[in-house]
């Protein structure tokens, strides 16, 4: 289902759409309050953007430096060209441990690679430990937001889900009780699983350490109790120096949720005694995107989700309408790189209002890239047939004055005398709108009458 159809389905429930919209806007307002409290906010964004630009321009050397330093600390470094290789590497580590049950904290990369279904097919049980991710996992759904995975779920629905899976009392919809039920259930998993997978927010070339940020403490509970810690990251997560963390940690959570910092910003430097630590560095299309000059800045993304919270289209269409691991404006410029045919609709899921670019902590020109992608996709024949055809008709009309004037007349006549020709469900402009009253004459006709002869 393409974005427009999925969004239409989402919008069938008017109250829910409004609720979704308002909840995310509230998060956006929290972000504003946090950002406006920092006088140097704009300089921080600029600095972060420049650091990331340097990273992209020297990524191969930073990767080599990171690998060398991580290995020196006793961390095993793996390289995966694509999603499949990433999944194979993870499975082979699990097999070497004889492990069939694992815990995983939030990692958008593993979502992108569809690691969970792959491991399940291979007989491994994966428990997502972030509360929001656990909720959507129990419901057999993907996350709908990279920071707030179950933002589309109401507490009453979560109550029903937990009653079924965790045995909470029927009708219980209290966030505190539900959260603590999940805590008790997941604690048992933390205590019994021998392998933990985490994502990576930042990996520092200079030191070979990596940083994982959570509020719940689930990454730490998993990693520090497990015999084996596997951290999965896209190659663009590298930053050159430790001091750069000062810039990014100031921006990340303020942009994401309006908090001054996540509860835990955990710096993993070495495996603990007796523990194995693995890092999987994943390309999966990133080097291709690096080569697309107009789109490479999308690789600066630090996955804060601010562009989603502010986006009028995302807020009213829901994360699942983007049919991609990363939804919203940033997802819409990352997804076509992975698969142009499948994701050709996404850059069109935008009003190009530019709010995404304005809140982006690393100053990605998201709305400009959305516009660029539309051109690339249309030129390479990926735009929908109906749109291509109507654009061709439009072009023929606009390039011929006689046809143009005639069409105007026909249009005004039809709207005045036979409104059903335009007021029908085949005309997308008629959806949720009244068509305007047609003018009696065109500007050209009016001008001729009133000014033309003087």
Partner 1 sequence: MSREKILAAVAQNKPTLTPLPEIQNFGNPYANLVEQFKTVLTAIGGEVVYVKDWEEIRAYIQTHFGGRRIVTNIDPLADVAQESWIKSDPHSLEDVGLAILKGQFGVAENGSIWVTETEMGQRVTPFIAETLALVIQKSELVPKMHDAYVRIGGERYGFGAFIAGPSKTADIEQSLVLGAHGPKSMLAFLMD
- Residue closer to partner 1 (CB basis): 250 or 315: 250
The one segment of 53-61, 316-324, 350-358, 361-369 that binds partner 1 by CB under 8 A: 53-61
**Up-side HSE of residue 418: CA atoms within 13 Å toward CB?**
5
33 binds partner 1 (CB under 8 A): no
Q: Which of 287, 285, 297 is nearest to 343 (CA)?
A: 285
358 binds partner 1 (CB under 8 A): no
Using CB under 8 A, which of 160, 165, 264, 378 touches partner 1? 264
User: Are 310 and 367 within 8 A, CB to CB?
Assistant: no
39 binds partner 1 (CB under 8 A): yes
Phi-psi region of 38 (alpha: psi -120 to 50; beta: other; left: phi over 0): beta
Chain residues 199-218 in contact with partner 1, contact rule CB under 8 A: 215-218
CB of 323 to partner 1, least distance (A): 22
Using CB under 8 A, which of 8, 21, 85, 368 touches partner 1? 85
- Residue closer to partner 1 (CB basis): 94 or 150: 150
- Residue closer to partner 1 (CB basis): 11 or 50: 50
Using CB under 8 A, which of 95, 164, 267, 433 touches partner 1? 267
Q: Which of 142, 135, 136, 141 is nearest to 110 (CA)?
A: 142
Chain residues 219-258 in contact with partner 1, contact rule CB under 8 A: 220-221, 223-225, 235, 240-247, 249-250, 257
Per-residue binding string, partner 1, 110-139, x by CB under 8 A, is: -------------------xxxx--x----
- Residue closer to partner 1 (CB basis): 204 or 349: 204
Cα separation of 339 and 330, whole Å? Answer: 15
288 binds partner 1 (CB under 8 A): yes
Per-residue binding string, partner 1, 293-332, x by CB under 8 A, is: x--x------------------------------------
- Residue closer to partner 1 (CB basis): 180 or 387: 180
- Residue closer to partner 1 (CB basis): 145 or 323: 145
Size of the site for partner 1 (CB under 8 A): 90
Using CB under 8 A, which of 18, 29, 36, 57 touches partner 1? 57
- Residue closer to partner 1 (CB basis): 115 or 235: 235
80 binds partner 1 (CB under 8 A): yes
The one segment of 119-127, 288-296, 346-354, 445-453 that binds partner 1 by CB under 8 A: 288-296
Chain residues 136-175 in contact with partner 1, contact rule CB under 8 A: 148-151, 153-155, 158, 175
Chain residues 87-106 in contact with partner 1, contact rule CB under 8 A: none
Q: Which of 59, 42, 90, 40 is nearest to 360 (CA)?
A: 42
CB of 270 to partner 1, least distance (A): 4
The one segment of 108-116, 187-195, 302-310, 354-362 that binds partner 1 by CB under 8 A: 187-195
């Amino acid at each position: 289902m393409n974005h427009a159809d999925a969004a239409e389905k989402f919008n069938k429930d008017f109250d829910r759409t409004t609720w979704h919209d308002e909840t995310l806007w509230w998060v956006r307002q929290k972000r504003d309050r946090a950002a406006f409290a920092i006088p140097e906010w704009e300089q921080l964004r600029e600095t972060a953007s420049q650091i990331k630009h340097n990273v992209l321009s020297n990524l191969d050397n930073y990767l080599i430096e990171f690998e060398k330093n991580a290995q020196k600390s006793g961390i095993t470094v793996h390289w995966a060209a694509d999603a499949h290789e990433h999944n194979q590497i993870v499975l082979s580590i699990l097999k070497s441990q004889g492990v069939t049950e694992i815990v995983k904290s939030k990692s958008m990369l593993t979502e992108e690679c569809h690691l969970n279904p792959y491991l399940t097919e291979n007989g491994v049980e994966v428990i997502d430990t972030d509360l929001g991710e656990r909720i959507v996992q129990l419901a057999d759904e993907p996350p709908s937001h990279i920071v707030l995975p179950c933002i589309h779920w109401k507490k009453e629905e979560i109550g029903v889900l937990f009653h079924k899976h965790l045995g909470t009392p029927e009708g219980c919809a209290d966030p505190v009780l539900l959260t603590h039920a999940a805590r008790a259930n997941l604690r048992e998993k933390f205590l019994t699983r021998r392998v933990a997978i985490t994502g990576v927010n930042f990996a520092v070339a200079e030191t070979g350490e990596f940083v994982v940020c959570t509020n719940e403490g689930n990454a730490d509970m998993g990693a520090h109790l497990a015999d084996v810690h596997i951290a999965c990251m896209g190659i663009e997560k590298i930053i050159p120096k430790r001091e750069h963390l000062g810039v990014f940690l100031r921006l990340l959570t303020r942009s994401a949720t309006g908090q001054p910092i996540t509860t835990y910003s955990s710096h993993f430097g070495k495996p603990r005694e007796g523990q194995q630590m693995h890092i999987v560095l994943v390309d999966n299309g990133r080097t291709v995107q690096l080569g697309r000059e107009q789109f490479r800045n999308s690789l600066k993304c630090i996955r804060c989700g601010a562009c989603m919270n502010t986006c009028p289209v995302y807020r009213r269409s829901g994360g699942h309408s983007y049919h991609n691991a990363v939804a919203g404006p940033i997802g819409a410029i990352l997804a076509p790189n992975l698969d142009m045919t499948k994701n050709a609709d996404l850059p069109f899921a935008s009003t190009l209002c530019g709010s995404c670019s304005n809140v982006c902590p690393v100053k990605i020109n998201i709305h400009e890239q959305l516009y660029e992608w539309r051109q690339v996709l249309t030129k390479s024949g990926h735009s929908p047939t109906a749109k291509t055809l109507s654009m061709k008709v439009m072009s023929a009309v606009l390039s011929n004055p006689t046809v143009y004037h005639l069409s105007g007349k026909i249009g005004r006549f039809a709207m005045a005398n036979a409104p059903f020709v335009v007021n029908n469900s085949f005309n997308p402009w008629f959806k949720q709108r009244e068509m305007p009253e047609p003018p009696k004459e065109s500007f050209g006709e009016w001008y001729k009458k009133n000014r033309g002869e003087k």
